[in-house]
């Protein structure tokens, strides 16, 4: 498995990471626990070391699932665990906001360690930047946990350029987790230049734009769960975006790969400091993702992709309007 380092001070990880969220939620279709365990096992056997989760995915179920997978055969040493915290949910599943103050941070980690059945977390990060808690305080609280040995590295998620600078001034940040895809390019304007200036890596999620860049989407696949709320999957927006995906598929067909593999390869080709996260829930989807590492994109290919799907042609925002204000990266 090819490797990349997360930032100047972060760990060496596999060239792609496994995003485990879909194994514990129905946001992108039915989740099957046995298939989730099989996918994690297949990923580790293939040399995928970076596994990403959040303590609120499935109300803790995702962490317990990963804990079960790592327990089998003592596989903890094979994994680099990236955990997001802070998301607050009620018993009915509704969002209550984000808690990232010192006590909430320490409490969240204590529960995470127990659910995962591990002694430390490799990369710990707030899921969102709370408007109620200065990022310096949150990072300072995690820095205490680094000194105590419970956390190895600190990351951020969906943070804007100014916030990244403030956080990095408190303690080295190894990576920013943020959405990045052929159809989601906002990070290129201000955020990516700051990451590269400071020597911070990126773990890119949503590389298929929530499944929009796929053969399944072109065939009229499921648009339930999160997709039912996402503007890019609505009405005329969807019609426009599927035209872009069709153009990308034509390029993929010529390259002898799937359109999903083309999209993954595009993100991977954006720089050695970027690690795509693949939300595979089944071993077959994982195998497809691993194949993307061997799709070589020439400068001519990259130019064709840009012409086929320019950022300005994408219709609809990446999150529903009500959620955009929760994203520090969009401010």
**Residues that are catalytic:** 57
Residue 61 has phi, psi (to 5 degrees) of: -60, -40
DSSP 215: H
Q: Count the neighbouring beta carbons within 10 Å of the beta carbon of residue 39.
A: 25
Bridge partners, residue 323, by sequence = none
Cβ burial, residue 44 (10 Å; 0-12/13-18/19+): buried
The position carrying tokens 């796929």 is 214
Residue 231 has phi, psi (to 5 degrees) of: -55, -30
CB 17 within 8 A of CB 203: yes
Q: Which residues contact 124 (CB under 8 A, 6 or more apart)?
A: 83, 85, 109, 142, 145, 151, 153, 154, 155
| CA-to-CA dists, residue 122 to 43, 128, 267, 281, angstroms | 18, 18, 23, 22
d(CA 277, CA 11): 16
DSSP secondary structure letters along 262-273: HHHHHHHTT-TT
d(CA 237, CA 202): 28
Residues recorded for the chain: 331
The position carrying tokens 């992108």 is 28
């Amino acid at each position: 498995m090819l490797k990349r380092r997360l930032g100047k001070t972060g760990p060496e990880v596999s060239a792609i990471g496994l995003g485990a969220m879909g194994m514990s939620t129905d946001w992108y279709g039915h989740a099957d626990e046995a298939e989730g365990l099989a996918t994690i096992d297949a990923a580790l056997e293939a040399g995928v070391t970076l596994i990403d989760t959040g303590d609120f995915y499935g109300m803790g179920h995702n962490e317990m699932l990963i804990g079960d997978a790592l327990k089998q055969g003592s596989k903890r040493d094979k994994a680099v665990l990236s955990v997001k915290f802070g998301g607050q949910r009620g018993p009915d599943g509704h969002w209550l906001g984000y808690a990232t103050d010192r006590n909430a941070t320490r409490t969240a980690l204590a529960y995470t360690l127990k659910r995962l059945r591990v002694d430390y977390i490799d990369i710990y990060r707030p899921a969102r930047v709370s408007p109620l808690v200065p990022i310096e305080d949150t990072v300072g609280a995690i820095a205490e946990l680094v000194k105590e040995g419970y956390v190895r590295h600190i990351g951020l998620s969906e943070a804007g350029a100014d916030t990244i600078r403030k956080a990095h001034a408190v303690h080295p940040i190894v990576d920013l987790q943020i959405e990045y895809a052929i159809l989601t390019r906002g990070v290129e304007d201000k955020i990516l230049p700051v990451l590269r200036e400071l020597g911070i890596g990126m773990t890119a999620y949503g590389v298929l734009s929530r499944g929009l860049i796929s053969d399944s989407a072109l065939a009229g696949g499921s648009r339930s769960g999160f997709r039912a709320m996402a503007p890019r999957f609505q009405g005329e927006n969807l019609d426009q975006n599927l035209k872009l995906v069709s153009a990308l598929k034509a390029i993929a067909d010529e390259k002898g790969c799937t359109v999903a593999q083309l999209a993954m390869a595009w993100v991977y080709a954006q720089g050695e400091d970027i690690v795509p996260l693949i939300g595979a829930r089944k071993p077959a989807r994982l195998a497809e993702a691993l194949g993307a590492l061997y799709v070589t994109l020439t400068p001519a290919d990259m130019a064709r992709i840009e012409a086929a799907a320019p950022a300005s042609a994408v219709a609809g925002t990446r999150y529903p309007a009500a959620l955009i204000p929760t994203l520090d990266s969009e401010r």
